[in-house]
C-alpha cells in the first residue's frame, strides 16, 4: 500500500474509489489495519467509551488524545492519520490552534477533526491558515449528545437537512479538506457527497458517501451492549482479526457495505 495523503484521498474521490477508514487507539491495532489496506486511521475520542468505559466521549482530555495518537503514529507507516479534538478543546480559535498543534507536533497526526457547523467556520479558517488540515464532522455529533437529546438521526426533515447541507458547503469554503457525516439519511448524504469536492466519509450515512468509517471494536463485535444500526460485525466466519478487517475493506471498496440495513431513510 502506498502512503496515503490528503491529496491521495481527494484523487480517490475524483476517480470514484471508495475510501476506507477505521478507528485505532494503539500501535498493535494500527499495524493490523494497515496490513489490511485501510486508507485512513482515526484516533477517535470514541476511546472514552470503548477503551475507558465512559458513558460518552465528553470526559476525554487533550492529554489522553495526544497519548493515544502518539501510540497509533508509532504503528502507522502508510495510512493518513486523523485525530479528534476532544470536547471543549476548541472553544475559540486560539484554543483550537493550541490543541491541534499538540495533536500534530506531539501526537504525529496529519489532520485534526472537529464537530460543528456554522459556529466552527472561523476556527476552521484559522486552523487552515496556520497549515493545519481539518476534517469537519456534521450530522450526529457525539460531543453535543446532550444538546441533541440523545443519539438520534439528524437531517430527517427538510429544514434540518438544508442546514446540514449548507453547513457542509460553508465548511469546505472555510478550508475543511474532509467531512464526516454521521447518522443522516442516505439521500441527504449522497447529495452532499455530490456537491462537495472534498471527500465525504459516512458512518450511518449510506453507501453513496466517498468512504466509510466504523469504530474498530464495533466492526469486530467487541463492543458490549446495544449496537447502533449502522454497525456490522465482520468477525463471524472471518477466522482472525486481520481477515475481518480485510473483509470490511473489501466490502467498502466493492460498495457492499453499508447496505440499506445499516442506513437511514
27, with CB counted inside 10 A (0-12, 13-18, 19+), is: middle
Helices (H), 118-220: 121-129, 145-148, 158-174, 186-195, 216-219
Query: Quick one: which of 49, 263, 258, 70 has its CA closest to 143?
Result: 49
Residues that are catalytic: 182
**Cα 85–Cα 81–Cα 6 angle in degrees, nearest 5:** 105
Contact 211, 222 (CB under 8 A): no
One DSSP character per residue, 86-103 reads: PTTS-SSHHHHHHHHHHH
Separation of alpha carbons 107 and 65, rounded Å? 8
Separation of alpha carbons 118 and 139, rounded Å? 13
Amino acid at each position: 500500500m502506498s502512503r496515503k495523503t490528503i491529496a491521495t484521498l481527494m484523487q480517490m474521490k475524483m476517480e470514484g474509489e471508495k475510501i476506507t477508514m477505521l478507528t485505532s487507539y494503539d500501535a498493535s491495532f494500527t499495524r493490523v489495519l494497515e496490513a489490511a489496506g485501510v486508507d485512513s486511521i482515526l484516533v477517535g475520542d470514541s476511546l472514552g467509551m470503548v477503551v475507558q468505559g465512559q458513558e460518552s466521549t465528553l470526559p476525554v482530555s487533550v492529554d489522553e488524545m495526544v497519548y493515544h495518537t502518539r501510540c497509533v503514529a508509532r504503528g502507522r507507516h502508510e495510512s493518513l492519520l486523523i485525530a479528534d479534538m476532544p470536547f471543549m478543546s476548541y472553544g475559540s480559535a486560539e484554543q483550537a490552534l493550541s490543541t491541534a498543534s499538540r495533536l500534530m507536533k506531539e501526537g504525529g497526526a496529519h489532520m485534526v477533526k472537529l464537530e460543528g457547523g456554522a459556529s466552527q467556520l472561523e476556527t476552521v479558517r484559522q486552523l487552515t491558515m496556520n497549515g493545519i488540515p481539518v476534517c469537519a464532522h456534521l450530522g450526529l455529533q457525539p460531543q453535543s449528545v446532550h444538546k441533541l437529546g440523545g443519539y438520534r438521526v439528524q437531517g430527517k426533515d427538510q429544514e434540518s437537512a438544508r442546514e446540514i447541507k449548507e453547513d457542509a458547503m460553508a465548511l469546505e469554503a472555510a478550508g475543511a479538506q474532509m467531512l464526516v457525516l454521521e447518522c443522516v439519511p442516505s439521500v441527504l448524504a449522497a447529495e452532499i457527497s455530490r456537491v462537495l469536492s472534498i471527500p465525504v466519509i459516512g458512518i450511518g450515512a449510506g453507501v453513496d458517501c466517498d468512504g466509510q468509517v466504523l469504530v474498530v471494536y464495533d466492526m469486530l463485535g467487541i463492543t458490549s451492549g446495544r449496537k447502533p444500526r449502522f454497525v456490522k460485525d465482520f468477525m463471524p466466519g472471518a477466522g482472525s482479526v486481520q481477515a475481518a478487517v480485510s473483509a470490511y475493506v473489501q466490502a467498502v471498496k466493492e460498495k457492499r457495505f453499508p447496505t440499506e440495513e445499516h442506513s437511514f431513510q
